[in-house]
Amino acid sequence: MLTIDVLTLFPEAFSGFLGASILGLARQRGIIDVRLHNLRDFSADKHHKVDDRPFGGGPGMLICPEPVFRAVEWLESHGFQGRRILLTPAGRTFDQKFAQELSGEKRLLLLCGHYEGFDHRIVEGMKWEEVSVGDYVLSGGEPAAMAIVDAVTRLLPEALGDPDSPKDESFSDGKLEYPQYTRPREFRGMSVPEVLVGGNHAEIRKWREEESKRRTSSRRKSP
Ligand code: ADE
């Protein structure tokens, strides 16, 4: 069982996501537990304020250190011990290898930012891994946290019906997945490639490998 604590200003943003599909089933089956915590509940301010203007000027608001420190201290006093991930576009990029690594953990904490970001003392004064889900800016860390929860959950043993399905997909070997087809064999003038219906498994494997290579080199920068 993997337990993921999520610190967010918008716990309600997770409700549909947590109930649906693979993730909903994984929660029902006790493969994963996602615990949502509202950062506002840890504010010491009487108006539950969690953000303020940046010193030195500039647009927007920053998450203050106090509620984050208090939240983490509360979680630790309730048994939390594990990797702490702070979601920010300035972090290291999340990828399949990182997802695999996280799927081996027992506890994770994900901190979602909002507004212009975090007071830097949050990363100076506490151990966080700063993680981004891609080179674009979201209006909050919630969709990024959802991407991580989803990518990690589907790698947990028994989360997917077919235990082989995560092995043969995009990124599992650093390459993008080949194109796939199902019935019908002819659809609006487009047909399934002959090799896939010919029954020659060595040829099929070769075709798939070549398609994977072609996709990867045309869609990704080479390392
Ligand atoms: N918060 C805003 N943008 C983000 C991104 N790309 N990744 C992670 N957290 C974010």
pLDDT at 168: 60
Exposure b/e, 98-128, CB count within 10 A at least 16 = b = bbeebbeeebbbbbbbbbebbbeebbeeeeb
Which backbone phi and psi does 2 adopt, to 5 degrees?
A: -105, 130
**What is the spatial distance between Cα 19 and Cα 6, in angstroms, rounded to a whole number?**
16
- Which residues face 140 on adjacent strands? 114
* 148 ligand 1 Cβ < 6 A: no
Q: How far is the CA of 140 from the centre of ligand 1 (A)?
A: 7
For atom 2 of ligand 1, the residue with the nearest CA is 138
pLDDT at 167: 67
Q: What are the tens digits of pLDDT across the range 79-125?
A: 999 999 999 999 999 999 999 999 999 999 999 998 789 999 999 99
Tell which atom from ligand 1 comes closest to the C-alpha of 133: 7
* Domains defined along the chain, listed by start: 2-154 (3.40.1280.10), 173-219 (1.10.1270.20)
pLDDT at 201: 98
Percent of the chain past pLDDT 70, that is, above it, reads 96
* Residue ranges in the chain modelled with pLDDT below 50: none
Indicate the top mutation candidate among 7, 128, 138 to test ligand 1's pocket, ranked by most ligand atoms within 8 A of CB: 138
pLDDT at 77: 98
* 38 ligand 1 Cβ < 6 A: no
* 141 ligand 1 Cβ < 6 A: yes
